[in-house]
Every structure is written in structure tokens, then in C-alpha cells.
Chain A
Amino acid sequence: MTPRWRIWAIGGLIVAVVAAAIYFPILRRRVRRAARQQQQSEEQARRELTQPIVVNPGDPRVKTTLFWGSDTNDSTLVPVTVELPLSKDPVLRSKQVLNTLLAGPVDAELRTLPPDAVLLAFYLLPDGTAVADFSEALATSIPSGIASEQLAVNSIARTLEANVPQVQRLKILIHGQEMETLAGHLDLTEAFVVNTKLAQPPPSSAANAPATVPPALTAGHRPAN
């Protein structure tokens, strides 16, 4: 390399170093700002999801029965009655009672659902089948086991049964997806019976159902069809 080219090369390198020294702090600031914005948007999304259902001041305060764990027997549920302003609309009412159930009792030991689980969506079909879509935490944070998973589903089903008579069956989704089990044990492929008195059998008998249709399973008591 001739001396002339060496000078050019050194000069070019100096320019690149100076440019990098100027640009690097700017880039760093941009990255920090982007991270802050992402964090804020995640927090905002979480707040939106966990935000309690807006309560209409005109809604009457009614006695609401919620089913949490028993302090004497960890495999049974105990009804707890509280007064809540509840909507008459069955979907809003279901969201209100389920969010209260998710918020948990005063004694955290009596929880049946993970504290970080969130109700993402709730739908009520004309035939009385409710579809409750929970965040992934319901499946990942729940204590794994037959008894604990059944207790969680029973607390949801019985709370709906006690407060929303229009709900006859309950289908549970996790993050919008149908799961085979809740946390490795409890079957989530079909709907659970919520209202044992009102739940109607399907139009066609079970014997005539296609062989590939999975059976309806219950929250420990009765199948949906």
C-alpha cells in the first residue's frame, strides 16, 4: 500500500469512528425509548385485560354466591355470599362474577384459580352454552393434579350456575384455543354442565352421534349431552 492510500484509509477510519461516536448515543436513546414504549403498551394491554367490568351505577346490588376452596378440606368448595352490583345482561353478569372469582377471596389459601389468570373473553350462545376464554396462566399457574384441576373448573361452573341461570353449559378455552387438558389431567375437549336442571340434551341422541365427536364431560357430575 502506497503512503497516499494509507493516508486515505486512516482518514476513512477516523471518519467512521467519529460518525459512530456521534451516532451510538442517539441509537442508544432510541432503543431505550422503544423499550419504554413497549413496556408501557404491555402494561396498558394488561390493564385493559384485567380492568374490571364497568359497573353501571344503576345496577342493583344483589347477593352473589361465589365458590372458593374450603379451609377445612382442600378438595371441596364452599359458597360465599357477597353483595355486588350485577348487570342483568347474562354476558356482562358472567364477566362480573368470574372476574370477582378470579380476584380471589381475602384468604389467598382458599383460591381455586391462579392469581395471574385473566378472563379474556366470554360469549353466550343461543343454546345456553357459554364459552369462557382464559389467559394461558390458568393452565400454566394452576397446581397440576386431578383434584386441583377439577376443583378449579367446579368453582367456575358452580359460580356461574348460582348467579347466571341462562348459562347451561361451559366450554373453557385457553388463549382462544381448545386444549386437550387443563394442566395435564382434566379434560377440556367438551363442555361442562353448569345448570343441571336446564341443560337440554342435544337434538340427536348420543347413539346417533358421529363416532369422532368427543363426549361431553362434566364438572364432576353430569355430561352436557
Chain B
Amino acid sequence: MLLGVGNIFQLRARSISLLFCLILTGFALVSLALTPSEAQQPIPSAVSPANASAISPQVPQGGAAGSAPSTFGAQTQQTGLNIVVLDPAHGGTDPGARGTGGIRESEIVLDFAIQVRHALEQEGFQVVQTRQGNEDPSFDDRSALANAQRGAVFVTLHISSTGLPGTARVFVNSDLPSAIGSNGLIPWDRAQAPFLGLSKKLGDLVQGLLAQRFKGSPDAVQTASVRQLRTTAAPAIAVEISSVTVNDRAELDRMAPGVADAIAHGIAAFKPSYVVPNTTGALR
């Protein structure tokens, strides 16, 4: 059977239109598939070490330990400090330090967090808490919550079982090797490295204010290998209050307003120093 020229053109036109329809359908499917994942990215819970062994967070310009900012020099855009991630340590089956009088660190820090949160909100900060009740998120889950924020600092609250009762210490993480690769990503396990300079600055400010309020507290921030701070990609400090060994819990409760005030004012004083380049924030 012979086909006429008209029939050939008709067939070709049908093939082209069919191909065009297929391409359009493909584009539609791809865009539908991409949309939900992009929408999920800003949600903190989407950021976990399981799917993000390396991160590209805001890398500070200032700070002695920030040796990598040049990597992001071209992308510099100032971002203000608006959010404080507040971490009442321990919780759940982990009570933390325990005093002979039945005082549990996990309970006290939760009460402290309420007052610190109130003081921070009065200073105009948005506060995100890693736990609201008696849960025990993992170290990485707590860090993931902080690492998902833009323009944030991280404060973890602790009560010690040693030290002069009625004093408070601020810790920043010990020096970590800067490990930003040529691809600009920071390993999750060294997320704190580029922020150590800013963390120290924040820690000194808060420690200074605590020393004014609580006699016997050190004047300067101290360093320690704090697990919680290491994976946090933001200026991060640990505040440790002494101690669960007090006979009466009221002694610790009386410290809460002073601690809250010192943290809130310290972060407010730190705010002008908080200048970080605004990077893509992509996680992998």
C-alpha cells in the first residue's frame, strides 16, 4: 500500500505533537517531584546528620578561628541575629547531674529555660527550644535544630555537680581544625570549627555579666570538649550553673533571674558583632 505525501506530513505532524506532549508531561512530573523537597528544606526536622554529613552553613567573617571565610567572600551578604536556640540539656531517661537532695539537672535546666526564654523575648529575640518537656533529643537532633536556623546563636544550659555553689561558668568548644573542603562544605562533625571565634566573643560577654551577678564566677569564658557544641554550626556556648549539691533547690531557683538576665543582655550586646556571609545553606 502506498502512502501519499499528504499522509506522510500528517504522520510527521502527529509524531511531533506526540513528542511535544511527552516532553511537557516529563517537565510537569519533574517539577511536581521537586516542589515538596524544596519546600521541606527550611523545616528544621529536615536537617539531620543522617542526610547531611556535610553542611554549608553561614560562615562567620569575624573571629580568630574562622579561617575559611575567604571561601565565601564573593557571596557576602549580612544577616542579622534574630534567633536564639535554647537547649535545656539532658531529659527523658537521662537526668544529668543528680544531687543528694533529689535535685535533677534535667528538671532544673527546663525551669531555667523558661526564664531565659522570657528575658530573650523581652530583648526582641525569637527563641527556639530543643525540648519543651521531659524528652531527650539526641545531640545531633539538637544541633540539627540550630543548624537549620538563619541568624541564630545556640545556648545550652547545664547544672554541674561540682564547683562553688552559686557560681556560673560559660564554656566554648575546644579548638577544632577548620575542615572546609574545596567544595565549601563543612563536615557535620566539625560544624562548630568556623564559629569558634564568634562563640568565644559571645561567651566572654555572657561570662562577664554572670561574674558581675554571681561572686566567685570566672571572668572569662573557658574551653572544653563539649559534645553538644561540636556539631553546632552557629556561635554556641554552654552555661553551667553550680550546683546540684545545694541543700535546698530554692538556692538554684534564686539564681534563675540573674542567669536569664546575663544571657539575654550578653546576646543583645553580641548582636552587632554577628556578621556572617549569607551562603546558599544547601545541605547534603
Contacts and interface: CB of A to CB of B under 8 A. Distances in A.
B163 interface: yes
B160 A147 contact: yes
A211 B184 CA distance: 12
Nearest to B171: A146
Using C-beta atoms within 8 Å of the partner chain, give the interface range for chain B.
Answer: 35 or more
B193 A74 contact: no
A120 interface: no
A150 interface: yes
Which of A143, A215, A216 has the largest number of chain B CB atoms within 10 A? A215
A146 B162 CA distance: 10
Contacts of B96: 144, 184
B187 interface: yes
Interface residues of A, number: 38
Contacts of B177: 206, 215-216, 223, 225
Contacts of A143: 97, 160-162
B201 interface: no
Given A144-B97, A207-B181, A217-B230, A223 B174 contact: yes
A215 B191 CA distance: 10
Contacts of A153: 225
Contacts of A146: 158, 160, 169, 171, 224, 226, 238, 240
B90 interface: yes
A222 B196 CA distance: 13
Interface in B131-169: 139, 158-164, 169
Contacts of A221: 174-175, 223
Contact of A150 (B175, B176, B188, B224): B224
Contacts of B90: 184
A147 B179 CA distance: 27
A220 interface: yes
A195 to B, nearest CB: 16
B179 A212 contact: no
A212 B225 contact: no
B261 interface: no
A207 B178 CA distance: 7
A187 B161 CA distance: 18
Interface in B49-106: 53-54, 89-90, 94, 96-98, 105
A150 to B, nearest CB: 4
A185 B158 contact: yes
A149 B228 CA distance: 14
A186 B174 contact: no
A189 B190 CA distance: 12
A189 B193 CA distance: 16
B179 A148 contact: no
A180 interface: yes
Interface string B226-251: 11101000000010100100000000
A192 B179 CA distance: 18
Contacts of B185: 211
Contact of B187 (A181, A186, A209): A209
B227 A186 contact: yes
Given A215-B187, A217-B174, A150 B225 contact: yes
B189 interface: yes
Given A74-B164, A147-B160, A220-B174, A211 B226 contact: no
Given A144-B105, A207-B182, A75 B230 contact: no
Q: Which 4 A-B pairs have the closest CB atoms?
A: A145-B160, A217-B225, A144-B97, A211-B54
7 contacts: A75-B169, A147-B171, A180-B139, A186-B226, A206-B177, A206-B178, A212-B189
Interface of A: 74-75, 143-150, 153, 180-181, 184-187, 189, 192, 206-223, 225
